[in-house]
Amino acid sequence: MVLPQRREARTLRRGTVVRYAVGSVGTGGFGTLPGLVLLVYLTNTLGVSPAFAGAAFTVSKVWDVIIDPWIGARSDRSLARTGARRRFMVLGAIGLPVFFVLTFAVPPGLPEAASAAWVLVAFLLAATAFSLFQVPYIALPAELVDSYDERTRLLSARVVVLALSILAFGGGATELVRLVVAGGGTEYLGYLVMAAVAGLVFLVAFLITATVERSVRGGSPVPASGTGTESGPTAGLLEHYRRGWSALRGSQPYRALLVTFVIQALAIGLMLAGAAYIAAEVLGTGVLLLFLSLIAPALVVTPLWAVIARRAGKERAYRLASVLFAVAALSLILLVWFPGSWLYAPVAIAGAAYAGLQSLPLAMLPDTVADDARRNGPGRAGTFSGVWTAGETAGIAFGGTILSVVLAVTGFVPTVAGQTATQPESAIVGIIAGFSVIPAALMLLSLVPLSRYPLRRADIDRTARPAHALPNGSNPA
């Protein structure tokens, strides 16, 4: 086994923490909006059937699963050659606003199939641009800091910003559409304005975060191990997937954490997609208050999860957050018999747990990268983050797919802009089940792979060293 050189752990500067966290303004926004509004935009504005809408949404996300590991491997090569992953992040920052606006620029009156195809192609391009930023972004913590607790600090700051972003986009996006309609505009125009405002925010946030690498790397090339460059610059797509599979096979801690996170992403994606339907069809209100009750507690308790992680360990804190979320979600099944504003209380508890479900696994991910570098040699942080992003994307996407299937099976009635429909009781039950019982069951299922996660504080702090350190101080040719 090849061991990297030991060196003193680095301490994060406040400016580095801030600039890294700012990226979550954009990642939180793009991670929230498609799941929240894209499905309802297709079914309630464009008149696309739930089954057709779910298929279009899922295909675009499957593309993410295909492209993310490739982006991760290519960003590893960029790091090895230039000392930075910044080029990918800037390309994503510029491309995402353009394609996101196009996603919500469907001309009124198009046939159902044409509307679905327009959204599919535009969103596929937007998702690709987002991955160009997101994959290197997730890889950075393993390279910015070495300490077990400092990683928790970095990711806790990110989650505070993420929670604010989800609140702003989740509540503000639908309110912006409503304001445009109230001012005499159409729903089509409302969604287009929403996308344009969101795209501008994505651009600014991503460009700010793209500068965080400069102060850490200084622009000098970073040596890469044989695990990251063995196939040379002409490696094809299949080679990158081979590396992703090798990462899964070669790191049991990473594998356990990834499976846990993907199952939980499926549960969260399902609840996120169902929020707009719960607000409209069960509560008869807008979605803003529902998002306030979910995200406001997350803002308050995120530092508390960091404290619990320091005292009990990240893995125990993560398990606690998972159980808390599952119990809160399961209680929402009572909406079938007792619809009312009482649901905001369990949603707030789920929001408190959600803060831990976001910050803790992302703080554990660089620990698995460091463990892999110690055991197998460095150079795979981008590959790890690429597979991770693909798994998260797949989980959230198939959460929306599950909801679309539930809606189709239970008889949900789609509408176009300006129309209303009385939903059958079976559809209401389906919406509530998709918001409560199914996510709760998935969250409890995720505890099985989490129980197999082996890393503890002593494993990480045994050797504090950079993720890119070379064995025996060697230097690449």
Q: Which helix (H) or strand (E) holds 183?
A: none
Tell me the residue type at 311.
R
Tell the residue number behind the tokens 């505890």, with chain if given.
447
- What's the CA gap between 142 and 344, in Å, rounded? 37
Domain interval for residue 326: 14-223+246-458
Q: Are the CB atoms for 173 and 194 separated by under 8 Å?
A: yes
- What's the CA gap between 366 and 381, in Å, rounded? 8
Q: Note whether residue 203 is domain-resident.
A: yes
Average pLDDT over residues 394-404: 79
Q: Note whether residue 129 is domain-resident.
A: yes
Q: Note whether residue 276 is domain-resident.
A: yes
45 exposure class (CB count in 10 Å sphere: 0-12, 13-18, 19+)? buried
Average pLDDT over residues 365-370: 86
**pLDDT the model gives residue 39:** 77
Q: Note whether residue 352 is domain-resident.
A: yes
Tell me the residue type at 361.
P
* Count of Cβ atoms closer than 10 Å to residue 219 Cβ: 10
Q: How confident is the model at residue 189 (pLDDT cuts 50, 70, 90)?
A: very high
Characterize 414-451 residue by residue with b for buried, 16 or more Cβ atoms within 10 angstroms of its Cβ, and e for exposed: bebbeeeeebeeebbebbbbbbbebbbebbbbbbebbe
What backbone phi and psi angles, to 5 degrees, belong to 245? Answer: -65, -40
Break the chain down into helix, strand, coil percent, rounded to 5.
80, 0, 20
Q: Note whether residue 316 is domain-resident.
A: yes
- What's the CA gap between 240 and 228, in Å, rounded? 10
pTM (predicted TM-score): 0.70
Q: What percent of the chain has pLDDT over 70?
A: 83
Tally the domains of the chain: 1
Q: Note whether residue 84 is domain-resident.
A: yes
Q: What is the DSSP string of 390-446?
A: HHHHHHHHHHHHHHHHHHHHTT----BTT---PPPHHHHHHHHHHHTHHHHHHHHHT
Mean pLDDT of the chain: 80
What backbone phi and psi angles, to 5 degrees, belong to 471? Answer: -65, 135
327 exposure class (CB count in 10 Å sphere: 0-12, 13-18, 19+)? middle
Strand partners, 471: 4
Q: pLDDT tens, 132-186?
A: 998 888 878 877 777 777 777 787 788 788 878 877 887 788 889 889 988 888 8
State yes or no: pLDDT of 25 exceeds 80.
Answer: yes
Mutual angle of helices 50-82 and 86-103, in 10-degree steps:
160
State yes or no: pLDDT of 65 exceeds 80.
Answer: no
Q: Note whether residue 241 is domain-resident.
A: no
- What's the CA gap between 334 and 343, in Å, rounded? 9
Name which of 442, 166, 453 is nearest 322 in CA terms.
442
- What's the CA gap between 149 and 52, in Å, rounded? 46
Q: Note whether residue 23 is domain-resident.
A: yes
Instruction: Pick the range with the lowest mean pLDDT from 232-236, 422-426, 429-433, 470-474.
Output: 470-474
Q: pLDDT tens, 88-114?
A: 899 999 999 999 999 999 998 888 888
What backbone phi and psi angles, to 5 degrees, belong to 4? Answer: -75, 165
State yes or no: pLDDT of 205 exceeds 90.
Answer: yes
CATH code for the domain in which residue 44 is found: 1.20.1250.20
**pLDDT the model gives residue 416:** 60
Q: Are the CB atoms for 36 and 390 separated by under 8 Å?
A: no
**pLDDT the model gives residue 225:** 41
Q: How confident is the model at residue 358 (pLDDT cuts 50, 70, 90)?
A: confident
Q: What is the DSSP string of 44-87?
A: HTB---HHHHHHHHHHHHHHHHHHHHHHHHHHHHHHHHHS--HH
Q: Which residues contact 20 (CB under 8 A, 6 or more apart)?
A: 140, 141, 144, 154, 157, 158, 209, 212
Between the alpha carbon of residue 476 and those of residues 17, 217, 221, 222, 224, the distances in Å are 31, 17, 10, 9, 8
- What is the token pair recorded at 272? 């996120």
Tell the residue number behind the tokens 């309630």, with chain if given.
44
